[in-house]
Chain A
Amino acid sequence: MSDPATLAGTGRRARTRRWMASWRNRDTRAAYLFILPWLVGFALLTAGPMIASFVLSFTNYDGIGPTKNVGFDNYRQLFDDPSVATSMMNTLVFTALRVPLSMALALALAMLLLRVTRGSGFFRTVFYLPVMTPSVAVGILFLLLFNGNVGVINRALEFVGITGPSWTTDGSWVKPGLVLTTLWALGGTVVIYLAALKNVPQELYEASELDGAGRWTSFVNVTLPQISGALFFTLIVNTIASLQTFTEAYTAFYGTANTQTYSSDAALFYVVYLFQQAFQFMHMGYASALSWLLFLVILVITLVQARLSKRFVYYEGEAR
């Protein structure tokens, strides 16, 4: 599988020559034809727009009035605008609550499922169904089930003698409520863990038991390291998804002038605010700056997670 090109000479001139020569190769031309759709898409819908948005982030472009250069004003405004800090904080808190909870719960469910011999298909189906539910409907369900006065959640809590909070209106309970709502859709993570758990070689458990390890010790010493790849993957994916939370919060709180009238900033997630600035107020220049900030934040978080994974993740049969 070794690429002959990388084995040959290393001089820059030689490389250029080889590059030129390779175009005479039919393989190369065919390969580029196959990947052409992606190349075009990358230029037109990723790289191009990103450059455009970078340029626009230094203007007051709004698609209606005249556009002018505003220098770093948009970036300065990121710091002056209290909604930026609020929405970023909301998003981080939501993510910090949701991601570990969903991973822990999903792992628990997967371990339960692993040991079920009959009917595991049924349970897996049940756990996955919420993933298929459109987020708009999830947002609506949140409003209805979590209504502080008449919602079924509080009625159930009342039944066991607990006075439930006002999930949809109380600033400090809105985010936990949304976390619980979105946890409903953790089926995807369960399936991933289940697959990973099935791949853990049984011998390792046996060896661990021979060493006199208990259930918990085996879990910590065998299970977790063995599925660390899957854990890391879901950590990254869930984090990125949580940081981009939009639909549920938007549906429940920011959809119309009427709902916006009553919305405090408790559910103002970053992407919701970005969306408002971009498409409700058409402040495209400022929205571009907001996009870039989000990009940086996600990049940093992902890099930190990747760095951590290098230390903790065990890759089975890691050859490279």
Chain B
Amino acid sequence: MSRTVAERDTVAASRRTSGPIARTLRLLALLGATVIFVYPFFWLISASLKPSESVFDNSLLPSDWQFENYREIWTAVPLGTWVLNSVTVTLAAAVAVTISSALVAFGFAYFRFPGRNLLFGLVIATMMLPAVVLMVPQYLVWNSLHLASSQVPLWAPNLFGSAFYIFLLRQFFLGLPRELFDAARIDGANYWTMFYRIAVPLCRPALVVTFVFEVQAAWTDLIRPLIYLRDPDLFTVPRGLKAVLDQFGEGGELRWEIVCAASVVVTVPMIVVFLICQRQFTSGIATTGRKG
């Protein structure tokens, strides 16, 4: 596999020998795009450090660095609690979905059992089912369980696996050579051992992909926290940011630098996660594109 890629790259490289002008133009285009993609981050961070009246002065760096903005947001709202809530909810959601999806995916990948095709067809069908279609019905479920004012609906659905990850992980499990399992079985390994000792370690990269994807999804979600969280002490950071916007933004105190500071606090953890798990994100995304 690696050999063919190397071959292909040399062939490609030979074809790619285009003139220096073309190369420069390409680089310029990419740098231009880079500016567009990165500028909003700079703007946000810079605005979050400006005094109220110069938020819109659009200068790249604040002329008067207001680090107090961060202290102020930290004391004006329970930001620490929100971050903690988000961390808890996000971890619970990601751990739950990784374990449960892996179990289900292994069930679909390893076993041949009556009803398998029908059930897996249902998995695919739910994958295509738009999440918002279930927004109202699921609220009714949680409401009838008296859990509609809690954090539970934010992560508990993940205990049952998620169609997308089940699909993704099943692909990986299917890629494992069957002889491995047969050999283990002859050695007397049980199903659990085969899952836990063979399938899981071999598919660790895919599990990490699942985990980090869900971290991102759970951390950034607004709609479910909007529906289910009412007590400010239970807010996750996006829900909190929305509350900050209501209080300090339009119709409120019009202190956009505070809103910007809160936005930075919400965004930075995801940037860090991405910089650490970059490879997982890009390979995961690329895989879904290929398998889809």
Contact = CB atoms under 8 A, between A and B. Distances in A.
B27 A132 contact: no
Interface in A99-118: 109, 112-113, 115-117
A229 B287 CA distance: 12
Contacts of B33: 109, 112, 123, 126-127
11 contacts: A31-B107, A32-B107, A34-B107, A40-B160, A46-B129, A115-B18, A127-B33, A140-B241, A195-B289, A199-B290, A291-B137
A21 B104 CA distance: 23
B133 A295 contact: yes
Interface residues of B, number: 101
Interface stretch (A69-77, A78-86, A146-154, A171-179): A146-154
Contacts of B116: 31
Judged by DSSP, the binding face of B is: helix
A155 B114 contact: no
B146 interface: no
A316 to B, nearest CB: 10
Contact of A291 (B133, B241, B259): B133
Interface of A: 3-5, 18-19, 22, 25, 27-28, 30-35, 37-42, 44-46, 48-50, 52-53, 56, 63, 109, 112-113, 115-117, 123-130, 132-137, 140-141, 143-145, 147, 150-152, 155, 184, 187-188, 191-196, 199, 201-202, 205-206, 229-230, 232-234, 236-237, 240, 243-244, 246-247, 250-251, 255-259, 261, 271, 274-275, 278-279, 284, 287-288, 291-292, 294-295, 298, 302
Given A41-B157, A52-B140, A141-B44, A35 B114 contact: no
Nearest to A271: B132
A259 B123 contact: no
Contact of A48 (B27, B47, B141): B141
B38 A126 contact: yes
Given A128-B282, A284-B140, A27 B112 contact: yes
A49 B134 contact: yes
Given A28-B113, A258-B251, A112 B26 contact: yes
Interface string B264-292: 00110011011100100110011111101
A236 to B, nearest CB: 8
A229 B140 CA distance: 38
